[in-house]
């Protein structure tokens, strides 16, 4: 049921609102009363196009002040605003999906991480990300959210291993 299109998306398809090549989709370029180009967004509840604003999310503002990709991810998902909640939901599902793909798409986590970094230009692979945000705490949060964490990840934690990658004092 996760892959069933929601009614608002089906309506967009029926209307032919498929993106830039059809002239409208999630966004619509229009002209204001002064002839200036403005970009409107589609309200999925009403189906109407409305002016875009500049949303501000504290979690994203805090993450911009961090230096590393890991610190940025950890900062965003620790927030409680709408952007943080969305980022957590996507991150949690991505991490679980990655863990469920062993050994289907790769023999080990190293090659899944490499594939995501090299093939999709991620700064951190999913298991590197999981290490950065804390495996135990994120698994507890996933389970509290009703998500099903792969048994092998829970077994790893139960065996006392707290990270996917064991690093020495120099981070190697």
- In this prediction the pTM is 0.78
CB half-sphere exposure, 140, CA atoms < 13 A: 7
pLDDT in tens, 127-168: 999 999 999 999 999 999 999 999 999 999 999 999 999 865
Question: Who has greater pLDDT, 169 or 167?
Answer: 167
| Residues belonging to the chain | 172
Sign of the four-CA dihedral 162, 74, 146, 111: negative
Q: How far is 51 from 36, CA to CA, in rounded Å?
A: 13
- Residue 76: both structure tokens together: 């965003």
Q: Which residue has the tokens 């065996």?
A: 159
pLDDT in tens, 25-76: 999 999 999 999 999 999 999 999 999 888 899 999 999 999 999 999 999 9
Q: How far is 60 from 63, CA to CA, in rounded Å?
A: 5
């Amino acid at each position: 049921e996760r892959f069933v299109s929601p009614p608002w998306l089906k309506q967009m398809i029926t209307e032919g609102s498929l993106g830039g090549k059809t002239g409208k989709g999630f966004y619509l370029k229009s002209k204001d009363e002064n002839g200036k180009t403005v970009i409107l967004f589609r309200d999925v509840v009403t189906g109407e196009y409305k002016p875009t604003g500049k949303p501000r999310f504290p979690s994203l503002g805090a993450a911009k002040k961090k230096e590393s990709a890991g610190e940025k991810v950890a900062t965003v998902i620790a927030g409680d605003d709408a952007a943080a909640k969305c980022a957590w939901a996507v991150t949690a599902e991505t991490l679980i999906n990655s863990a469920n793909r062993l050994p289907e798409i790769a023999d080990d986590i190293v090659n899944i991480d490499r594939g995501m970094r090299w093939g999709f230009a991620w700064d951190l692979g999913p298991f590197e990300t999981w290490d950065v945000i804390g495996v135990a705490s994120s698994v507890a949060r996933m389970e509290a959210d009703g998500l099903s964490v792969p048994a092998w990840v829970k077994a790893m934690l139960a065996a006392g291993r707290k990270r996917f990658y064991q690093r020495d004092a120099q981070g190697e």
